[in-house]
Amino acid sequence: MTNILKHEVDLAIIGGGPAGLGAAISAKEAGVKNVLLIERSEELGGVLPQCIHNGFGLHFFKEELTGPTYTYKMLKNAEKAGVDFSTRTMVIRIDPNNTIIALSHNKLLEIHSKATLLCMGCRERSFGALRIPGTRPAGIYTAGTAQRLMNIEGMLPGKRIVILGSGDIGMIMARRMTLEGAMVLAVVELMPFIGGLIRNEIQCLRDFNIPTHVGHTIKEVNGTDRIEKIIITAVDKNRHYIPGTEVEFDADTLLISAGLIPENELSKMAGVQLNPLTGGPIVDNLWQTNVPGIFAGGNVVHVHDLADYASESAALAAVNAAAYAKGTSSQDLDIKVKAGKNIRYIVPNSITKKQEKVTFFMRVTWPLNNATVHIGDLYKKEFIFARPSEQIRIDLPIGMFMKLNHEEIVVSCYGEEAV
């Protein structure tokens, strides 16, 4: 019979990236005595240790940092707060009663927690999920894998590169590989606009004169042992190939930067309902899921623009998880929040607690100029522009919603189409 080691904790946090670290520090500051941070890798920090570029920390630490420095500062704060953590620990299952089964150093653990916070982050969409015709030779990587090869392993993945997708990691890698002497032949984007942050479009593509092909996709990948040729084509509004627009590249490497998917296999095991628009849990303004005592924060809920925002949202979730673990949490409202015109998604999906404020995170579906976001009939805010790549955050006092119990708020965005 297998010996199972049993543990009792007040709050278990699954995932030791920027979200999990931010949550653990916040929970300790909120007075939770027994916080356990669980991470499957050998080290904490998620992907940040391989992100040697700057741009981190401006919101969370009020200074510009590299990924490794951001991780270092978070670890120092976690150490100071007295956070307990367990690395090389793989969570196998979460039961709805907040029982966690995990494998750690060849030992089976059964962890009973008063509250559980999901901070598993997200993963890259792979080449196999894109159904691109052609052969399957060597030389195809996700942008994150290529980043790790270069920045951690010291290996240049290729010399003649095509990047599919204009996500932030892809644009950053276009600059990185150019600086290392590789030739980035093209960044190819299916949508008629760049998919990442505007600052990365400027600093990583325009400043380095890297060719971009928006409204295009890869039609075919050819090669035997290694990629030899990549053919791209323009697409119409229905994403059908436009004949006669094909362009061929003699390339040896293809990087995929076609979006991120929240890691929610464990969430589904626990009975957590997922939002089909985000791929993450449906949460209320406490960041609590439909399963009592199970909360979620960071990129596991929806993909944030910055690690700072992932840390911040998980820290907010941790405060509420801490209250639940201490038995002081309650629900006294029931207001549904839905995405309306030109809103791709909005978080939270409901308001259930009379807190000081409600923090909304949303993205638009299509680029707009002179945009106005309407929070039902209660509030509206104007923006010079709104882009799908730029997350919109709006903080509103809870008093605005007190008369709307058992009602529904529809959030919409209006403006002039920019594409």
Asked if 50 contacts 70 with a C-beta cutoff of 8 angstroms, the reply is no
Cα–chain center distance at 221: 28
Is pLDDT of 186 > 80? yes
* Sequence-separated (6 or more) residues with CB below 8 Å from residue 377: none
Is the distance from CB of 344 to CB of 364 less than 8 angstroms? yes
Between 53 and 3, name the one with better pLDDT: 53
- Torsion, Cα 124 125 127 129, to 10 degrees, reads 150
Instruction: Give the Cα-Cα-Cα angle 395, 397, 403 (nearest 5 degrees).
Output: 130
Q: If you average pLDDT over residues 168-191, what whole number do you get?
A: 95
pLDDT score at 128: 74
Domain pair 1-124+260-329 / 126-258, same fold: yes
CATH fold group of domain 1-124+260-329: FAD/NAD(P)-binding domain (3.50.50)
Domain extents for the chain? 1-124+260-329, 126-258, 331-419
Q: Is the pLDDT of residue 2 over 70?
A: no
C-alpha to C-alpha distances, 80 to 29, 75, 87, 320, 398, nearest whole angstrom: 11, 8, 18, 21, 33
Under the banding of pLDDT at 50, 70 and 90, the label for residue 1 is very low
Query: 126-258, what's its fold?
Result: FAD/NAD(P)-binding domain (3.50.50)
Residue 226: phi and psi, rounded to 5, are: -135, 155
* 139 torsion bin: left (phi>0), alpha (psi -120 to 50), beta (else): left
Residue with tokens 């596991």: 300
pLDDT of the residue at 125: 86
Average pLDDT over residues 332-350: 95
- Give the orientation angle of helix 67-81 with respect to helix 307-325, to 10 degrees: 20
Percent of the chain whose pLDDT exceeds 90? 83
In the three-class reduction of DSSP (H, G, I as helix; E, B as strand; rest coil), residue 178 is classed as helix
Element counts in the chain: helices (H) and strands (E): 7, 25
d(CA 231, CA 220): 5
Alpha-carbon distances of 127 from 139, 165, 334, rounded to whole Å: 11, 11, 42
Instruction: List, as one string, the DSSP characters of 191-243.
Output: SSS--S-HHHIIIIIITTT--EEETEEEEEEEESSBEEEEEEEEB-TT--B-T
378: helix, coil or strand? coil
List the structure tokens of 7. 């543990």
Q: In the prediction, which pLDDT does 305 show?
A: 86
- pLDDT digits 0-9 by tens, 229-277: 999 999 999 999 999 999 999 999 999 998 899 999 999 999 999 999 9
Weakest mean pLDDT among 128-137, 189-198, 208-217, 330-339: 128-137
